[in-house]
Amino acid sequence: MAHPDRKLFLGARLKRLRRQLALSQTVMAADLGVSPSYLNHIERNQRPVSAQLLLRLAEVYDVDLRTLSQTSGVGEAEVLEALADPAFRGLAVPRHEVLQLVEEAPALADAFLRLYRAHAERRARDNAGAGRGTGEETPADWVREHVQGCRNHFPELDQLGEALHADLFADPLAPEHFETAARIRLRTRHDLAVRTLPPEVMVEWTRRFDPHRRRLLLAETLGPASRAFAVAYQLALTEHSATLNTMVAAAAPPDEAAVRLLKVSLTNTLAAAILMPYGAFHRLAEDSGYDLARLQARFGVSFEQAAHRMTTLSRPGARGVPFFLIRVDQAGNVSKRFAADGFPFARFGGACPRWNLHAAFRTPGRVVTQIVETPDGGRWFTLCRTVDRQGRGTAGDGQDLALGLGCELRHAERLVYARGLDLAAPEVTPIGPACRLCERHPCAERAAPPLDRALAVDDWAKSVSPYPFAQG
């Protein structure tokens, strides 16, 4: 069942606006026609902001109300993720203090994150010999951080996607299937044809646009869901390239490679919004208990596409369960990582071998659930399943990649996958980040000692862990 709209508490942002205008509470209260005590209660989040007061703010101070409702550039989840690093062990910073920092001192929160990331990157460089590469931030790292900084939610793209989807099917005689309707639109409005070719012709490409002949070429190895997404991607790029370019420019990527990667990422987001319009997708997700099979059937998408879309449901007034998603190959390499809220793994960490994300390869195509606990005490409900790599078509065996999807345990009662489980006294598996960042002991699955702890190897005894280390 969907949650009702939350009351609007904007105390910290209203206080910042007042300070920017160099006004006292008494003066601002007089300008707005309210008492100083009432304004004080609002700034302390003891009273919500009414619609009338918002309109008065816009009228008196010429304020764009969207700037008040937008969150700061730094998210609570980013700070919580940084604080989960072993470097901060023992601090136990309460969540309400993190929220207060983000809301009331966003510049300080940003400074903290910059300092932490510099430390983490230096640590990664120092330990490059352990197999983590150079530790320098790559264009892919930059794009991933930018997307996560936006909490994987781009409202303008959701709006464009909903509008385009509605326009595709506005005609009662429009084809029932998305791909057919999208192909017709590309042909009739943009003189762009779509052709499917064998892999011998496409060679390494699964999708390629030929601007000279105005053709979108697709490999026949693409399954129906991947083919529909490729057409949606071309439609997004063709009709909204200017908007995408503006968003990329506003993000100010550091180099040309990051520029191109970010545009691809945002175009993928818009394509998903066209295929799975926010309102309809969110309603079915809530009504079905986030049943991925139902979402796949309704929107003609793959398991991975539906799961990825579930990490983007952060629209105010219509928020979904805040999921995180991670995708790995059989060697444990992370190729996707998205989150609508907190993400329980450090930036340089891989998936813990105790998490059944890896065990999913032994049961291809089957959804496996697990409740895990991270070192900070956070508990997460997770579900994992294998998926085919793009381009394998319908002949794949579902063992190429494993997808992990999860949310905080407190949201699990809303999921169809948790029905029948005892969520009050669940069976919990303790996990950690990558072994070099994890301080859980003892652990039989440990593959490497932690970075900042001394080994305690004893030739008189053998631990279940291959790398026992000093405690405390």
Greatest extent of the chain over all pairs of C-alpha atoms, in Å: 80
Instruction: Dump pLDDT digits (tens) for 387-409.
Output: 988 755 444 555 689 999 999 99
Q: Which residue type occupies 4? A: P
Q: Which of 136, 134, 127 is nearest to 435 (CA)?
A: 127
Report the alpha-carbon distance of residue 401 to residue 330 in Å, rounded: 7
Lowest mean pLDDT among 54-63, 154-163, 314-323: 54-63
Higher pLDDT, 234 or 74: 234
Name the E strands within 291-374: 314-315, 318-319, 324-329, 334-339, 368-373
Weakest mean pLDDT among 180-184, 188-192, 283-287, 444-448: 444-448
Write the DSSP string, 56-79: HHHHHH---HHHHHSPPSS-HHHH
> Among 37-41, 194-198, 206-210, 336-340, which is the least confidently predicted range?
336-340
The whole-number pLDDT of residue 460 equals 76
12-16, 309-313, 354-358 — which is least confidently predicted? 12-16
Pairwise CA distance, residues 416 & 443, whole Å = 32
Structure tokens at 282: 């969110």
> By C-alpha distance, which of 412, 325, 327 is closest to 371?
412
- Residue-wise pLDDT for 164-196, tens only, equals 999 999 988 888 899 999 999 999 999 999 999
Q: Is the pLDDT of residue 334 over 90?
A: no
DSSP characters for 454-470?
A: -B---TT---SSSS-B-
Residues 414/415/419/422 CA torsion (nearest 10 deg):
-70
- The more confidently predicted of residues 405 and 129 is 405
State how far the Cα of 131 lies from the Cα of 332, in Å rounded to an integer: 12
Whether pLDDT at 87 is above 50: yes
DSSP class of 169: T
Q: Does the predicted model carry a pTM greater than 0.95?
A: no
- Interhelix angle 95-104/76-83, rounded to 10 degrees, is 130
Neighbours of 260 (CB within 10 A): 14
**197 CA to centre of own chain:** 33
Tell whether the model's pLDDT for residue 73 goes beyond 60: no
Could you read off the pLDDT of 7-40 as tens digits, one per residue?
A: 667 777 788 788 778 888 898 899 899 998 898 8
Cis peptide before 344 (omega within 30 of 0): no
The alpha carbon of 143 is separated from its chain's Cα centroid by a whole number of angstroms, namely 12
More confident call, 352 vs 234: 234
33: alpha, beta or left, given left = phi > 0 and alpha = psi -120 to 50?
A: left
* Statement: residue 470 has pLDDT above 80: no
384, 403, 415: which is closest to 322 by C-alpha? Answer: 415
For the CA atoms of 93, 95, 100, 105, the dihedral, rounded to the nearest 10 degrees, stands at: 60
Which residue would you say has higher pLDDT here, 102 or 306?
306
Considering the four listed CATH numbers 1.10.260.40, 1.10.357.10, 1.10.10.10, 3.55.50.30, the one that applies to the domain covering 11-69 is: 1.10.260.40
Question: Would you state the pLDDT for residue 161?
Answer: 97
With respect to CATH, is domain 305-434 assigned 3.40.30.10?
no
Topology adopted by domain 155-275: Arc Repressor Mutant, subunit A (1.10.10)
Nearest alpha carbon to residue 380 among 428, 450, 330, 334:
428
pLDDT at 155: 93
Give the Cα separation of 363 and 384 in Å (integer).
10
d(C-alpha 181, C-alpha 149), whole Å = 34
**Chain centroid to CA 209:** 28
Beta carbons within 10 angstroms of residue 291's beta carbon: 17
**Cα–Cα dist 468/462, whole Å:** 9
Amino acid at 205: W
Distance, first Cα to last Cα, the chain? 46
Mean pLDDT, the chain, rounded, equals: 83
Note the pLDDT of residue 346. 47
121 token code pair: 């990157």
Residue 343: band (very low, low, confident or very high) from pLDDT cuts 50, 70, 90? low
- Angle CA(335)–CA(415)–CA(405) in degrees, nearest 5? 10
Query: For residues 167 and 174, what is the distance between their CA atoms, to the nearest angstrom?
Result: 10
Give domain limits for the chain. Answer: 11-69, 155-275, 305-434, 441-472
Structure confidence at residue 98 as a pLDDT band (50, 70, 90):
confident
Mean pLDDT of the 280-289 span: 97
The single-letter DSSP state of residue 356 is: T
Contact 402, 361 (CB under 8 A): yes
Choose from 323-332, 346-355, 448-457 the range with maximum mean pLDDT.
323-332
